[in-house]
Structure formats: structure tokens, C-alpha cells
Structure 1
Amino acid sequence: MKLIRPEEFEELCKIYPNGTRVELLQMNDIQAPPIGTKGTVYGVDDTGSLLVHWDNGSGLSVIYGEDIVKRVTG
């Protein structure tokens, strides 16, 4: 797991405030939602992982430095 510096954490909180919509591009987890699944960010934890309520009901976090999402509108 990649450690996050305080300034990186602050930047993530600015880029992904609560309510931000994201789309999954890559997640290396057998239980990951399908690529292209959309969800809503509800926080950033102290490791920099994005806490996401995925539209398909999944609750897996987006791991900082490992998984990839992009911001989307709508």
C-alpha cells in the first residue's frame, strides 16, 4: 500500500468531495464492480482511499495508488 502525504490527502479531498460521481476504470480485486460501474464518493479515508457507494450496491473502496477512477457528471 502506498503511503499518502498530508498534501496529497488534502488534494484528494478537493478533487473528490462528498457527492462526486466517479466511474471505475481499474480495480484489482476479485469482488470489484465491473469496469465502467459508476458510483458516488462519500469520503476519503486516512490512507487516501475513496469511499464509494457503487450504483450496483458494492461498497468497495478505491485504493489510493492502486485502483483508477475518473470523475463523471450525472
Structure 2
Amino acid sequence: MKNNLKTGDRVRLISMTDDPDPIAAGQLGTVVGVYPQSDWTQVDVDWDNGRSLMLSIPPDRVERLSPADNKN
């Protein structure tokens, strides 16, 4: 799967289905690493709630935020 995330991107979690202690949907975070595999991508995220948890895309789903979405 092709994904366009890169280090420094801000993301919002849509779903995390396979983790026993998942991040809640809607949580925001910052991508700190992207590691493409053959048919999936591992994405390391520092979440705003203080947790660091990697995503496996797919099945995990996030949306990249635009700079305008990041303004509080």
C-alpha cells in the first residue's frame, strides 16, 4: 500500500483495530518515523496524550492534517 505520510506530519487517528491497548479514535499526534514494508507501512507516532505507539497501515487508519487544521 502506498502512503504519503512523512516525518513531521500531524495526523488524526481514525481507527486502530488490532492493538490490545489502542489509542482512542480522534487522537492527534506527530509522525516521527515511516518504515515502508512490502505491502504495509509501519508509522511511528508521538501522540499528544503522551503515548508513543506505532501504527501498521493497513489495518490502522489515520488522516493527515493540513496546516490549517493544526491551528488552535
TM-score, scaled to structure 2:
0.75
Residue segments in structure 2 that go unaligned for 5+ positions in a row: none
1:27 CA displacement: 0.2
1:13-61 Cα offsets, whole Å, 9 max, x none, are xx21211000000001221111100000011124321110011112111
**Bigger fraction of residues in helix:** 1
**Aligned residues with identical type, % of pairs:** 33
Do the aligned partners of 1:33 and 1:56 also contact (CA within 8 Å) in 2?
Answer: no
TM-score, scaled to structure 1:
0.74
Output the aligned Cα RMSD.
1.5
Q: Which residue of 1 aligns with 2:9?
A: 20
| Aligned pairs for 1:52-71 within 5 A | 52-71=45-64
After TM superposition, the runs of 4+ consecutive aligned structure 1 residues lying more than 2 A away are none
